[in-house]
Amino acid sequence: MTETGIALFDEDYWDRAAEVERSLREQAPVHLATPKSGTPLWVISRYADARAALNDPRFSKDSDRLNAVILSKLDQPEGELSGLFSKHMLNSDPPDHTRLRKLLARDFTARRIANLRPRVESLVSGLLDELPTGEPLDLIERFAFPLPITVICELMGVPEADRSRFRGWTSALMEPARHGDGLTASREMAAFFVDLFAAKRANPGEDLISALTVASDDGDRLSEEELLATAFLLIVAGHETTVNLVGNGVRWLLESPQKWAALRERPELLPRAVEEVLRFDGPLRMATHRFTTEDVTVGEVTIPAGELVMINLTSANRDSAQFEHADELDLDRAHSGHIAFGHGLHHCLGAPLARLEGEVAFAELTRRFPSARLAVPGEDLHRGTSLVMNGYRTLPVVLT
């Protein structure tokens, strides 16, 4: 397969992604794309291939190579920030992956997370109490962002006064073309965590960072570099994604007032609604980078060894070979099998938490604001241009 003729990653790709991705699926199982900045990469976009690739060890995380790619995006030679990006579970193959994931797995089981429901409900209520009704406001800024950042920071033990700084840092990292200076953001974030680790060592609490510093003091379990990278991963994975779940979901639910009303009248639909939003317009466009360890054939295309590969989750989840009426948001869809949380070894650790936050957010928004509406036409909403994230920059709504 050679360079695709399709405008993958061109400037207008982000707002036309569903259409572009449909052409990709129809034309070939894999496309070679060259993003404006960065390394050429192979994109897998059909459901069956995507799911198989997520579970195939020949698509490896090879953290040293990942590091080089990520740092080249930040315009930074290898060195200073290497560990921040490479040494966490999402960028590791077994056996490191197994060890790193095990340290946190107990804290994210569905049962543990279910205990957080009252706290999430109270946070959602508190945030919604503050919002004005009857006038336009940005729901991302006022609700979809503060909710998950507060939840993950509480779990991790990040003091309240420091939480607002994460918005700027993660925006700069996810979308450097727009927010600029990912390098400064990474440095500041790393320095912040190093100070926090020292504070937790001196005065441990019941939070995840305190638990991880204990694991790192017992050096066999977690190196200092892995500790930093894991904290960084939790913050980034634990909030930007959930912002998009809430933002994307509210956009589509508000475009269809019957669906908004259905959730209010039949709250039993909420868990399915969350799954369907994840399938229909998921928070992650692509799974994170992988490398082929050998030549791998996908359909009729062979990806050579050592190449960079991305798995297009939003495309796979709209594949009509897998989902009936795939381009419809259908709140009654029974079995989904979407791969918005990935699949296999790296399946999202935080999925129960994300589902909980999504469910409580949609429940309370539809219950309190039966006549809410978008403040601008849906076509005027613009998505961010991150390779990995899929969400709106702002979401102007009127709550009534």
Q: Within a 13 Å sphere around the CA of 140, how many CA atoms are in the beta-carbon half?
A: 20
- Percentages helix, strand, coil for the chain (3-state, rounded to 5) are 55, 10, 35
User: What is the C-alpha end-to-end distance of the chain, expressed in Å?
Assistant: 52
**Complex with ligand HEM: residue 108 or 398, whichever CB lies closer:** 108
**Number of residues lying near ligand HEM (CB under 6 A):** 26
Residue with smallest beta-carbon separation from ligand HEM:
350
Q: Helices marked H in 140-181 — which ranges?
A: 146-156, 165-174, 176-179
Q: Within a 13 Å sphere around the CA of 372, how many CA atoms are in the beta-carbon half?
A: 30
Site residues for ligand HEM, 281-320, by CB under 6 A, read: 282-284, 287-288
Binding ligand HEM (rule: CB under 6 A), the pick from 353, 361, 375, 395 is 353
Minimum CB distance to ligand HEM, residue 344 (Å): 8
- What is the SS3 string spanning 320-343? CCCCCCCCCCCCCCCCCCCCCCCC
Binding ligand HEM (rule: CB under 6 A), the pick from 150, 170, 213, 241 is 241
x/- mask, ligand HEM, residues 121-160, rule CB under 6 A, reads -------------------------------x--------
Residue 18 corresponds to which tokens in the numbers above? 């569903």
| Part in contact with ligand HEM (CB under 6 A); list of ranges 15-23, 171-179, 187-195, 341-349 | 341-349
SS3 115: coil
**Complex with ligand HEM: residue 45 or 375, whichever CB lies closer:** 45
From residue 155, alpha-carbon distances to 151, 202, 234, 237, 347 in Å are 6, 18, 10, 13, 20
Angle at 166 between CA 184 and CA 96, to 5 degrees: 80
Minimum CB distance to ligand HEM, residue 183 (Å): 23
Binding ligand HEM (rule: CB under 6 A), the pick from 350, 356, 389, 395 is 350
Site residues for ligand HEM, 40-59, by CB under 6 A, read: 54
Chain residues binding ligand HEM by CB under 6 A are 54, 89-90, 101, 152, 233-234, 237-238, 241-242, 245, 282-284, 287-288, 340-342, 346, 348-350, 353-354
